Structure 1
Amino acid sequence: MRTLVGLSGFTPEQEERIRSAVPGWNVVFGKAKELDPGIFREAEVICGWAKEAEADLLRPDAKLRWVQAGSAGVDYLPLKALEQKGAVVTDASGVHPVPMAETAFAMMLAFGRKLHLAVRKQAERKWEPLGAYGELRGKTLGIVGAGAIGEETARIAQAFGMRVLGLRRSGRPAPYFDRMSGPEGLDDLLAESDYVVNILPHTERTVRLFDAGRFARMKPTACFINVGRGSAVDTAALTEALAEGRIAGAGLDVFEKEPLPDDHPLWSMDNVIITPHMGGLSERYKDRLAELFADNLLAYAASGRPARNIVDYGLMY
């Protein structure tokens, strides 16, 4: 009997949807530490990943053929070992565009209307106007990583009356962008943008892409927002740029090291908004993941290969 293991904490209704996609299979849901390790050696398909199960899933005699990740980024998976095993990996791209775009806009709106400062004044019981307030209308937004999340962010930006610049590896045009470029256009995008939103995945090419030189390209009035991966940013260079006023602010959901150490100077900066890597979380997250997984299961049962979101091991996404 073919076995599927789900580790993603689905509701009973979501579990039933997944079961119905593969009738006759042995479908097991639960937390890795609570399941018999033997089930991982039998699992042909797993949704989610856990360090506790890794050794059993990667054994030479394990039956693993497909991993459905619970996130858009897959850099936390043992990709080289999975590639050597011949397993297919699919990511959760398409599950996160709405909450990620809304997180980026929450930060942009907060900076423009100085809500982050107003909340701090509220805690001090101070009624204190905070100077010049801005608008998003007429501003330029630069989106670095113009995939599904970037496209949703661009759609909302146009509704706000913003000019939208995008960057993607292929450089191909996409809906809602006024201009799209390939990687060679990054410096121009930074120089023109009032807000820069990073949504890049973690790859060898993106590590510390945003370094001191890149922050120097930005306007001193611009804000940098990172909802992609912390590894894309040289945190020391960003901290220095903020402290010296070379950029106006930063909204940070992800960091090189998580959690951010409690003695890090970013915590105390008035021009910084910090959130605990929650940009993709939503009350609808698990329902969207279950829908994606069930659809891919139907394709896998019919053809032996999922239909959507297959990760290219060479690109790491």
Structure 2
Amino acid sequence: MKIVFTFEPPFEMKADLNSSYPDIQFHYFQNAELAKEDMKNTEVIVTYGEDLDDEHIYQAEKLKWIMVTSAGLERMPFKAIKEKNILVTNARGIHKIPMAEFTIGLILDYAKSFQRLWKNNRSKVWDKSTPLNELHNKTMMIVGAGAIGQEIARLAKAFGMNVIGVNTSGGSLENFDKMVTLENISAVLDKADFIVSILPSTKKTIHYFKRSHFEQMKETAVFINIGRGDVVEEEILMDALKNKEIAHAYLDVFQVEPLPENHPFWSMENVSITPHISSTTKNYLPRALDIFRINLHTYTNNKERFINVIDLERGY
């Protein structure tokens, strides 16, 4: 059997795969275009999910399974994949630890005025009037209460925070004090001190946050987006910040990435920007390949219990 990677894992990971599965031919390429010829007769493609197009899928005559080593699937060529009924699995769940820690770090950064303290440190300023707040008894709203959201909620409860979750069903979940549906978010928006969006990019979530949502938030609220940049129109978010409808925004994702140098976000004092790195950690790829190994065992043994199977109609 032949498996094509459209990226090159580190040498030790390739060596481990090659030695663990001597009957499988692994072919590693720096990108999908370089892998194009080898894709034509491969059963399995392993990809980060951002480099395949319809042509790749149509030309891969023997393709049966695509393993996406990330959670994001908005760039996958689902039209061709659905036509050929190809199995797609992803690495959902591997991001929960780094992204939850990252989120708590941002909230602590804001509550403890760390940026101001570091600035004072560099300027040799001793300023004991720096405002410091507690997370205890503050309310966090997590929009997208999946694996990542649930891990953020667990950590938030350790700080004594109240946690509201928002998802499609509104069903109860551990570590959430209250759950509401995406349709009913307006009923609780005015309660949140921190609003964390982890929504994926789907037909239902593009431009989910409306102008009215920001008008309903507390003037002291902090909006954090670590999900996808297209869940809110940037003009609407900028207006909310300029009009002081919310106090601050921490943004790790954007509609265009890298964020252009002339983008207004860069010069707004109440916006903090990070370069889409909330899930970045040295453990990222090993965790993704662990899921690949589990599903590869299932695939090679003609079993049906794959994990993280993607619904081709919904796209996630």
Counterpart in the other structure of 2:202:
203
Q: Deviations over 1:192-240 (max 9, x none)?
A: 1100000010001111111211111111011000000001011111111
How is 1:107-186 mapped onto 2 (pairs within 5 angstroms)?
A: 107-122=106-121, 126-129=125-128, 131-186=130-185
Counterpart for residue 93 of structure 2: 94
Q: Which moved more, 1:102-111 or 1:219-228?
A: 102-111
Question: Greater RCO between the two (CA within 8 Å, min separation 6)?
Answer: 1
Specify the code of the residue in structure 1 equivalent to 2:70: S
User: Which ranges in structure 2 are unaligned for 5 or more consecutive residues?
Assistant: none
Cα offset, 1:147, TM superposition:
0.4
Return the offset for 1:188. 2.3
1:87 to 1:305, Cα distance in 2 relative to 1, 3 A: farther
| Deviation, structure 1 residue 69 | 1.1
Change (3 A) 1:123 1:265: farther
The two structures have a TM-score, normalised by structure 1, of: 0.92
State the one-letter code of the partner of 1:144: V
Query: Residues 56 and 185 of structure 1: is their aligned pair in 2 closer, same or farther, counting only changes over 3 Å?
Result: closer
The structure-2 alpha-carbon separation of the partners of 1:197 and 1:271, relative to structure 1 and needing over 3 Å to count, comes to same
Contact between 2:166 and 2:179, CA under 8 Å: does it hold in 1?
Answer: yes
Residue 44, structure 1, aligned to residue 52, structure 2: no
Task: Give the fraction of aligned pairs with identical amino acids, expressed as a percent.
Answer: 36
Contact 2:49 2:72 in 1 (8 A): no
Are the equivalent residues in 1 in contact too, given 2:50–2:76 (CA < 8 A)?
A: no
Structure-1 residue corresponding to 2:262: 263
**Secondary structure of residue in 1 paired with 2:140:** strand
Deviations 1:81-100 (A, max 9, x none): 21112111112111100111
Alpha-carbon distance between aligned partners in 1 of 2:63 and 2:50, rounded to the nearest angstrom: 15
- 2:50 and 2:286 mapped to 1: Cα distance? 24
Name 2:3's counterpart in structure 1. 4
Which residue number corresponds to residue 233 of structure 1? 232
CA displacement 1:148-174 (0-9 Å, x = unmatched): 000100000000110111011122221
Q: Higher mean Cα deviation, 29-38 or 202-211? A: 29-38
TM-superposed CA distance for 1:80, in Å, is 1.5
Q: State the alpha-carbon separation in 1 of the partners of residues 307 and 195 from structure 2.
A: 29
Q: Structure 1 CA distance, aligned partners of 2:285 and 2:48?
A: 15
In 1, distance between residues paired with 2:91 and 2:266? Answer: 31
CA root-mean-square deviation: 2.2
Distance 1:12 1:87, change over 3 A: same
Q: Could you state the TM-score of these two structures normalised by the residue count of structure 2?
A: 0.92
Q: Which range moves more in the overlay, 10-19 or 137-146?
A: 10-19
Q: Distance in 2 between matches of 1:81 and 1:133?
A: 53
Amino acid in structure 1 at the alignment position of 2:277: M
